[in-house]
Structure 1
């Protein structure tokens, strides 16, 4: 019962699902598309500004002391998950549209989530402080590392990091985080008092990015370019990846001898992938028509990881009481 309650009350699941459905039924175009693009850039700026404000410096210092755990999470996210994404991208190149197959590599280079990884770690009674620092640090590094890794591995797909791309990444993703850290002492009390409002800004901006990207792909004929059989291949590959990600992190943490709380941190911080980084990054690297196809694996993986994380977290918490 608690599992279903978590899923039903997770507003982000419904918001992302609604964005995909709305883009399918009423894709944004014309003047509204230009306005949505401006709102999207402003929203993503706000998201990373809020990340900078929320993450306290003493939390970063405390979490970084657990170098063994943080290092393992980093290697898993940018090593193992990257290799899985690359292999799946290559293997699916003959059965999926090129940009959808490329989306598996794109998914592989992305950092883990911040909010949901920490939330499910708390539900599972894991090491929440380490989860916060791990997810935040991986996301900060991911702003720089993810596009570079992706461009390096996807040159044949015409992906290049130009000076304009670097400037746009810095202006939309890096600058607001730095500003948030700089003015944290003044702004954080207000942000923490208005968590509901700032939480909706987070979710709304990401949902808007998904809506704009999917709208362009819909207008370009996405559903006619991805057949029913190809969706079966997509679903099967994502289920395989979820099994490898969640099962692999849990087995690895046990083999390395981590305490149970740290194992839960590695599980949720290592196995999840961030649409908060992925959606805006795809919008910067690709044309809107391509971005919608590239983030298709990311959207479905993100939704699936939330549905899977709820029962896993509840089960792990129950085991603590047994």
Structure 2
């Protein structure tokens, strides 16, 4: 029953990390050590991301350019536009760092693992999903910091963004180096896949603890009343509903086959927690980062629950069609 309510048990770990930071925040020398550890794990995370992404995956199915353009356009154009509208419309009603977090959520790239998994469950175009989701993650390393810098600077975001040099050193350079070393690392990564994948979640846990510790010491729970948190849940739900409705409708307008519409639905609406939390720690000051990652964390769980329900529905429909044909 717990799995039905909480499809991803990692959410419980994140909640536990937030509670730990709330009651036992990192202070003094320990906070400095946690900050250095968080930086090191972020660098390692993007190094492995670069090493894991095969160019063959990104180039696979590239001839289906209309589908890939629709997916990437939804991720990096539609969602940011919604984010701009939301932050303008809600200015004055929610704390500024929370508005920045909503905007940050909308400029994040798609996920890879869960998007492809849901497309597979729903009997969609898995090859196209692999190509688009991989390209989204690679483009997000550059586009997410650039979009956030531009939009936060021109639309009233309270970003407090660090210099792009720090972004390059902690995100872009490790990613490029990892990708260049892929020919020599891919076999080792395949043999130690479980340990490499552990980097993703451990990085998030350390980054969340570091960010929330600074936020707690800065008075996060006094800045965010229960009404603001309730509003955030509603905003994330609306964002997800708009994304799902738009991508499914766009697939129909473009005349895509059912398999391609499924790939667009799942890849176009996913937002990466794995890249989002470490990026937030690089892009924003520690106290603000703790608030800014809240929309991403909530949206992550919502998209998992909604997409799991939708994917199972597609799978049942597909099985019924097969039985009818038999």
**Number of corresponding residues:** 318
Cα distance in 2 for partners of 1:17, 1:123 equals 28
- Shift of residue 204, structure 1, vs aligned partner: 1.1
What residue is the counterpart of 1:93 in the other structure?
91
**Match of 2:124, SS?**
coil
For residues 160-309 of structure 1, the aligned pairs below 5 Å read: 165-309=163-307
- Please name the residue that 1:53 is paired with: 51
8 Å CA contact 2:8–2:301 kept in 1: the answer is no
> Cα 1:124–1:24, aligned 2, differ >3 Å: closer, same or farther?
farther
CA-CA distance at 1:289 after TM superposition = 0.8
| Paired position in structure 2 for 1:78 | 76
Normalised TM-score (structure 1): 0.91
- Using the size of structure 2 for normalisation, the TM-score is 0.90
Q: 1:11–1:166: structure 2 CA closer, same or farther, 3 Å change rule?
A: same
Partner residue in 1 for 2:119: 121
Are residues 182 and 73 of structure 1, via their aligned partners in 2, closer, same or farther at CA, if it must alter by over 3 Å?
A: same
State the superposition RMSD in angstroms: 2.1
- Output the CA distance in 2 between the equivalents of 1:102 and 1:121: 30
Give the drift of 1:82.
0.7
Between stretches 23-32 and 259-268, larger displacement belongs to: 23-32
In structure 2, C-alpha distance between the alignment counterparts of 1:56 and 1:102, rounded to whole Å: 33
Offset at residue 167 of structure 1 (A): 2.0
Change (3 A) 1:228 1:254: same
Q: 1:195 to 1:228 in 2, by over 3 A?
A: same
- Give the match for residue 323 of structure 2: none
Distance in 1 (CA, whole Å) between partners of 2:151 and 2:3 is 41
User: Which of 299-308 and 148-157 deviates more?
Assistant: 148-157
Preserved contact between residue 95 and residue 233 of structure 1 (Cα < 8 Å)? no
Q: Is the 8 A contact 2:121 2:311 kept in 1?
A: yes
1:17 aligned residue? 15
Task: Judge conservation of contact 2:100–2:292 (CA < 8 Å) in 1.
Answer: yes
Superposed, 1:123-162 pairs within 5 Å as 123-155=121-153, 156-157=156-157, 159=159
Pairwise mapping of residues 99-114 of structure 1 onto structure 2 (< 5 A)? Answer: 99-114=97-112
Q: Secondary structure at the match of 2:60?
A: helix
Runs of 4+ aligned structure 1 residues displaced above 6 Å come to none
Residue by residue, what CA displacement relative to the aligned partner does 1:110-144 show, whole Å, maximum 9, x if unpaired? 11122221222222222222222212212222222
SS at 2:61 equivalent:
helix
1:136-192 CA-partner distances (Å, limit 9, x unpaired): 212222222222222222224464767xx2222222212222222222122112211
Structure 1 pair 19/111, CA: closer, same or farther in 2 (3 Å)?
Answer: same
CA separation of 1:227/1:160 partners in 2, compared to 1, >3 Å: closer, same or farther?
closer
Match in the other structure for 1:316: 314
CA deviation after TM superposition for structure 1 residue 100, in Å:
0.6
